[in-house]
Structure 1
Amino acid sequence: MTTGEKLAALRKKKGITQEHLAELLQVSRQSVSRWEMDVAFPETEKLIKLARLLECSIDFLLNENLEEDAGDRRTPPEISPESAARFIRECGYFFLATSAEGRPRLRPMGMIHADDRALYLVTDKRKSVYGDLAGNPLVELASYNLYTRQWIRISGRVRAEASREVQEAMLEMYPMIRQEYIRQDDMFFVIFRLDVEAVSIN
């Protein structure tokens, strides 16, 4: 099934009209119709809202090969690491909370990457945040989208990531890393893998 077909099927299953769904999402009925006919595609924030309203995962909506789980649909949809990273990149920044010497520390950060397993953060070995992350793996991060007025909150554990594949993906996504953190004799940037334990968007 296509994304549009899934949207139409789930909407009808819940007894929601296109007009009502459009009202809930603050879009036109024509937009909903175009999504369901696969003529257009919902923006990320609309996709997140659709997943919540229709009680399904974002991955289910996006993946044509993924069929609906017969399990309990009353549980909140899962948010994949890739969806979370996309949400954060749309915000443009995130705040990382660490703990050092029993005290919380909060820092604005900007570079984030994800695959289907985890989120990945970049920092500089010369900065105190590196020591915080190396000393205490428990972290939380949050980001706020000014346009949609939605927060994402993520908590989990970090560990240093040495994968060449992840490193290359980060360097491709953020070319400025080469200029700022790589010198002729040393490489100052380090990647931490964040294994997500809890995530919510509201």
Structure 2
Amino acid sequence: MQLVVGRIGRAHGIKGELTVEVRTDEPELRLAPGAVLTTDPASAGPLTIEAGRVHSGRLLLRFVGVRDRNAAEALRNTLLIAEVDPEQLPDEPDEFYDHQLMDLDVVTVDGTEVGRITEISHLPSQDLFIVERPDGGEVLIPFVEEIVTEIDLDEQRAVIDPPPGLIDDRAEIASARDAEDGEARPAEDAG
């Protein structure tokens, strides 16, 4: 099975080093010197990691055969893909590979059906579940402990406790004045 483990960013310096946006919880394993990675687009690879280091909080990699800035810039935005045994699981019990989460049913804590996970978006601040609703619409669910309260792989479901307005349009907006009055009122159209 193939997992995206990184995305190549800008060239760093003139000797072929590249910044890499890490998309794995195990960079020391997946992005270690000697690792051979396939790529998307496939024409850019496979790439073998020659060396790596952290500089100013960013991972820098050098690949075999990439010796100058021009060769490095040609790889910009290339996805790095590792081959992983599908039976292998993350070390931590509360960590999951994307393939484990895909197609899980999403329900609220009271059992209300929300939809099915169709994609996982990895953003710098957090991951998002892209959930297809039964009516064909989509909802974005932040994959954070406060909202996603349980992942049950045996039952193939993700249980969420969404704040008001996340999966419906019934959010209440309270102004500071309303809070002083001790009541919240629905937002009014100013227009």
Larger Rg: 2
Give the TM-score normalised by the residue count of structure 2: 0.27
Q: Normalized per residue, which structure has more strand?
A: 2
Q: Normalized per residue, which structure has more helix?
A: 1
Give the TM-score normalised by the residue count of structure 1: 0.26
